[in-house]
Amino acid sequence: MRCASFSSVLALCFCLLGNGCSKGITRATAATVFFVRGNVVFGNAERNDFQPVTSKSKIRVGDIVRTSDGASINLALIPGAFVQLSENSEIKIEELRLTKDGNETSGGMLDRRAWIRLNRGRIVNLFSQSNESASEFGVTTGQVTLRPDSDCLFSTWTDGTTSRVACGRGEVRAITDAQPPMKIAAGYFALWPTVSKEPLAATADAGAQMDIKMALDVEPELLDQAAGWQNRRVF
């Protein structure tokens, strides 16, 4: 019995010390506020506990973010996933997660994941896939789930019963229960509910044209703020 116990302990030590057995350490994280304009609040909807967003606010999983007339907010969800929430809009943070190599004291990022739900209004989404680690970003509404598989700029709008997605750069995948996945490329949009199996040219819809123009206007702002944040952050 002693020999068996010693062998088990020895095997466990090798596993803990060896790279092959390290699966990383996963922890929840918080969204970082880049910029806030006007009246924006965040908090727990079930408790009706909301407070104004400031540059030092840490917005975590489960939090609701709401903007009022003329207000907007720019957020970094995880490295590579940045959003701007327009006026009269609401999102819920559903998942923010980072996984690091347990053997690394700095760097060593293995996985990044961010999911948000757009309850109403409009959000511009900018996603950049990392060359060093796996990143996953998703946006859901009541009608559709959106996932960019590579670098992508897209806008999402919903009033709760209808959703519109317009792509400004790259390509975003739209997933619903009723239809096969749809890929929306730059310059195209899709609307749900719909019977169409293909995206449409944004030139055919005034709302989609406005979505793409707004996304392209917001992109340089998010990129500039992201560059400054990346230089300051430590994970």
Q: Tell me whether strands 81-85 and 109-127 are parallel, antiparallel or unpaired.
A: antiparallel
Q: Report the SS3 class of residue 211.
A: helix
pLDDT tens string 79-88? 899 999 999 9
**What CATH number should be reported for the domain holding residue 150?**
2.60.120.1440
Three-state helix/strand/coil letters over 91-154: EEEEEEEEEECCCCCCCCEEEEEEEEEEEEEEEEEEECCCCCCEEEEEEECCCCEEEECCCEEE
- Do the domain assignments include residue 15? no
Q: Report the SS3 class of residue 230.
A: helix
- Do the domain assignments include residue 6? no
- Do the domain assignments include residue 166? yes
pLDDT value of residue 20: 43
Question: Tens-of-pLDDT digits for all 235 residues of the chain?
Answer: 444 443 443 343 333 334 444 456 877 789 999 999 999 999 998 888 899 999 999 999 999 999 999 999 999 999 899 999 999 999 999 999 888 765 544 455 568 899 999 999 999 999 998 655 578 899 999 999 999 988 999 999 999 999 999 999 999 999 998 888 999 999 999 999 987 889 999 999 999 999 999 999 999 999 999 999 877 664 4
pLDDT tens string 206-221? 999 999 999 999 999 9
Question: In Å, what is the CA distance from 180 to each residue of 17, 78, 149, 162?
Answer: 45, 28, 16, 18
Give the residue numbers spanning the domain of 141. Answer: 23-232
Domain count, the chain: 1
Q: Tell me whether strands 64-67 and 25-28 are parallel, antiparallel or unpaired.
A: unpaired
